[in-house]
Structures are given as structure tokens and as C-alpha cells.
Structure 1
Amino acid sequence: MPIWCINPDCNESNSEEQRDCQTCKSSLVFEWGESYRIIWSNIGTKEKPWIAEKKLPDGVVISRVYEATNGTQTSILKVLYSTDQTYVRLFEREFDLLDRLNRERRESKKNNCSFPRVPEVPNHPDISGQVNFKLKRDITVRYLMMEKINGQNLTEWKESNNNTKVTEEQAIQWLKEILIILNKIHELNFVHRDIHPRNIIKTPNNELVLIDYGCVREILDNVDTQLTQVFSLGYTPNEQVRRKAVKQSDFYALGHTFVYLLTGYHPRAIERQNTDWRTLTENISISFLNLIDWLKEEEIERRPNNIKVILDCLNKLKDGEDLETWMQRNNHEPIDEELAIDYLIKLA
């Protein structure tokens, strides 16, 4: 099995027994509780063995994501090449959030309490894990090891299932699962900022896992800098484009994610066609359609205030049926005055 060098100016493969790259002499071993090495990912290519990368407009590499192995299991290794303090701060936030979520999850298991699935961080020394490249000048990089979540992201899942539209029952269940994960993130005063179908993994046992915490921002930071702007076409709200993301920004992205799942069309494609997305759905109740529209309101103030109110609405949808469905089931027979008054009082 070839072992890859992470030096962005090298990227050469080496044999398994080597500890340093035979081309540039960079270290090939990453210590994170155990020794890990970069391996080829079927997502990458021979020339580009990494899974993903971020670059500046001038081509300078900021970070890359690789698959790594300790000999028995495959993990995800994220490497930060940039020394810019903005990117360093984002990198440390990602580690901090994942670490805190993992600690809460372990504590919940001890107390036999449920906790949403999040990428696990293996036993680690601390965030200061670094490798020095032995080039013309020493280059220090930070790296973060985390669990590889097996499964398909929701875009891959849709494409492998002939772009099948999800049912309302499935959509309600999935939305609840993601909201429970997101609630834990918001409780720790973070905003995810990059929710879209490719960042949600459906595991073989049908769990949903929200991934990619590299763009999280603490809510106490009122304004993002230009360097930390996050933009996913069709899923990013206007306030986030203006670098002023809030909790409700995640709701907007979640709403458009479910537009894609319910219609099979990318939100931007629907916008370009100037089509009402509701007309592209099948057998979805008016109440659930209204809920999705509520999540993706353009104005922050018109979106839900918090996750609890969204979950309350979902529970009501799951436990009962909306009035229009009830009327259809009863052949649109008029209700009596007493029942009408009772309904009005409850609505009020």
C-alpha cells in the first residue's frame, strides 16, 4: 500500500516501511494517540490523493483532508498548512467543538442517555500536534484526526436511488435527527454555517450524521472576517454572505436542504426556473410545506426562534394530521359551531 507525502510541493508516494518521504524528507507519520499514515482514497487520484482541499485565489493551499490508517482502521486526517491566525482559529474551533461534543456523548453513554451521532475524535495528545517539514526552511503544520463516517452523503444517496423524492414521513424523521444534532451545536454557542446535502451522511444503519465542522463560528463573534466567509450556492442565507451568521442561518440552509430532498432539484435550479418548489413535491401535506418555507424565510426575524419550536411543530405533524387532510378524509363536511370555536381558541 503506498503511503503519501502531505508536503503540498511534493505529494509523492512512498513504501510502507518509510518514515520520511524519500523525495522531500518530510515526515510520513502522524502521532495522534497512535501512529497514522496517509493512504490513497478512492475519492482522490494519483496526482491528488486528498479528499478535499481549500486554496486561496493565487493557488496557495490552506488545508487538505486525507484518509489515514493506523494499520487497523481508516480515519480522516485534516491538515492545516496556513499560519494565518484566522484559519488557525477556525481549525482550533473545529477541534474544540468536536472535542466537547465527544465528551458529552461519552458522558451520556455512561448515564444511559441518548446523544446524537457525531464524528468521534480518537484519543489525542492536544491541539498542538504538529509536523515539521524538512525543506529549505522548516514549515510547521497543524493536523486533526477524526472518525471516518461510512455511508453516503444525501446527494450521493439521492443519485444512487434514481433521484427518488423522500416521503413526508421520512423527511420528518430526518429533519428531527438533524435538528437534534444541530441543537447540541447551538447549545455550545456555535453556528455550523455549512449545512447542505453533501455534509449529511446516511450511514449503513440509516443514521444521519452532520459532518464538516471546519466552518463553525462561535455565536459570540458578531461579525465574520472576509477570510472566514462561507458560501454554498443555494443554501447560504444573505446575512451569512454579509458575514453575519446567526443560529437562524442554519435553519435557512436546512430548509433548502429539504427542498432538494422533497423535489429532487437543487434550490438554485428551482430559482433559475422561477418555479414554486411546492409544485415539484408529491403527497406532502400543506403543514409540512409551510414548515419548510418557515425555515427558509429570507428575513431572519421571520424564521423560527429556536430548535425547540421546530421540533414541537414536527411532533404535532407526526402525531396528527393537518386540518386540510382531515377535511379531505371527511369529504369536506362542514364542522359544527362548537368544534369550530374550540379549534379557533386553540389556534389563537
Structure 2
Amino acid sequence: MSICINPSCPRPNHPDNANNRFCQSCGSDLVIQGRYRVMRLLSDKSGFGKIYEAYQQGIPKIVKVLKEDLNSDAKAVELFEQEAAVLGQLNHPGIPQVDGYFQYQTRGGLLLHCIGMEKIQGPNLEEWLQQQDNRPISQDQAIAWLKQLAIILQQVHNQHYLHRDIKPSNIMLKPDGQLVLIDFGTAREETRTYLAKLGAGYGITAIISSGYT
């Protein structure tokens, strides 16, 4: 299976795409940036982007694409590019490794904003809790996870960034037990002015995010 990410493609899941470089429905390139072959759509429920599973020489990856109706929204594009920039400055097993921001042009000339990054294996904590029938976790488990998150956040804060959207759906649980903090789309660089406003409780932009971006 290989799918086309052109939002205007009439048949992105064309069965012949798997054996071709170009979409057999719209003609757009199926090998994104010459490196990623997109296999399936994972989510389009995010506030900013669509999330795709892709492969680069057999290695699973995530390709995040800014929703096309936000292309003309300068602030949305800025936040999207900022996510790649923030992740590029962070190096920790609890933070996804990013390949970078890039632009992809469809056969029809539509320019899409994209980010390529590491694919984190495992469920997010919201999904994990549902799998456990929402049973309470043990005190030891809670403390262990809080310690992991504190270390991850220390890494983020050491680079003078604030995540600003910490919730169960933005925390992945890998098979080895490592937590990974995702969705840096609303992260913000710390400044004295911003921290002063935060302390005063006014002038702060409200952020509503629906998860894995």
C-alpha cells in the first residue's frame, strides 16, 4: 500500500500506487521529498495537521502535513515551522527526533507544509488507560512516570522552551516503558516578557489542541 497525500486527489488509495513512483490517480509524487513513501493516514483529528505513517528505506517514520485550509494562515504556518525548529534543538529519548521541515508540491501545484520525524511505537497514555479499562495506576507507576516526565521537561526548559500542552494524549508509552512527550506545535520560547505575563495571569493566548501533531 502507498497513498497519495494530495488533498485534491480523487483516489489517494489507488491499488496501483504501491508499485509506482507517481500517483495513478492524480500524478503527484508518491516519494515525498525523495525519501518518504507514505503508507497510511493515522489521524486527521489534530487541530493543525494530518498525521501519516511513512517509510524511509524500511525505517518507520511520521510525516505530518499542515491542513491545506491553513496554508494562508500565517500564524498556523509559523507554529508548524516552529514545531520542527523546537524539536531540532532537543535530544532526548523522551522527545521525538525530527528530520526537519520541508515543503511538498502536488501535481496540481498546491504547496503543502510538512515535517518528517521519528515514529514512536506504542500507544499514548489516553489510549493505554482505555486499554486498562481506566483502572487507577499504582502509586509506584505514577511516581516512575512523573520522574520520567520531569526529566523530559527539564530538557525542554533547559533549551528555554515551554511545551504548553501536556496531557495523556500527548504522552506516548514505548514498549520498553520509556515515555515520550509529543506535539510541540504550541511550544513557546521562554522570554522575560512572556514569563511576567504568565505570572500575572493576563495576556496569554488560549490554546486548544486535540493531540498528536
TM-score bin (small chain): 0.7 to 0.9
* AA of the residue aligned to 1:147: E
**TM-score, length-normalised on structure 1?**
0.51
CA deviations over 1:269-323 (Å, ceiling 9, x no partner): xxxxxxxxxxxxxxxxxxxxxxxxxxxxxxxxxxxxxxxxxxxxxxxxxxxxxxx
Note if contact 1:27-1:131 (Cα within 8 Å) is conserved in structure 2. Answer: no
| Cα distance change of structure 1 residues 240 and 74 upon mapping to structure 2, 3 Å threshold | farther
- Which of the residues 123, 131, 145 maps onto 2:104? 131
* AA of the residue aligned to 2:106: F
Query: Which residue does the alignment assign to 1:59?
Result: none
**Greater Rg by CA:** 1
* AA of the residue aligned to 1:35: R
The structure with the largest helix share of the pair is 1
1:76 match: secondary structure? strand
- Which of the residues 89, 106, 117 maps onto 2:78? 89
Identity of aligned residues (%): 36
1:183-262 superposed matches below 5 A: 183-220=154-191, 222=194, 242-243=204-205
Query: Which residue does the alignment assign to 1:164?
Result: 135
Extract unaligned runs of 5+ from structure 1.
41-48, 56-61, 106-115, 224-238, 246-348
The structure with the largest strand share of the pair is 2
| Cα distance change of structure 1 residues 184 and 242 upon mapping to structure 2, 3 Å threshold | same
Query: Which residue does the alignment assign to 1:66?
Result: 52
Deviation at 1:165, TM superposition (A): 1.0
Deviation at 1:193, TM superposition (A): 1.6
How many aligned positions are there?
A: 195
Answer 1 or 2: higher relative contact order, Cα 8 Å, separation at least 6.
2
Note if contact 1:90-1:217 (Cα within 8 Å) is conserved in structure 2. Answer: no
| Cα distance change of structure 1 residues 241 and 150 upon mapping to structure 2, 3 Å threshold | farther
Query: Which residue does the alignment assign to 2:32?
Result: 30
Extract unaligned runs of 5+ from structure 2.
196-200, 208-213
Deviation at 1:117, TM superposition (A): 2.2
Residue 98 of structure 2 is aligned to residue 121 of structure 1: yes
Deviation at 1:143, TM superposition (A): 1.1
Note if contact 1:191-1:217 (Cα within 8 Å) is conserved in structure 2. Answer: yes
1:165 match: secondary structure? coil
CA deviations over 1:207-236 (Å, ceiling 9, x no partner): 11111112212233749xxxxxxxxxxxxx
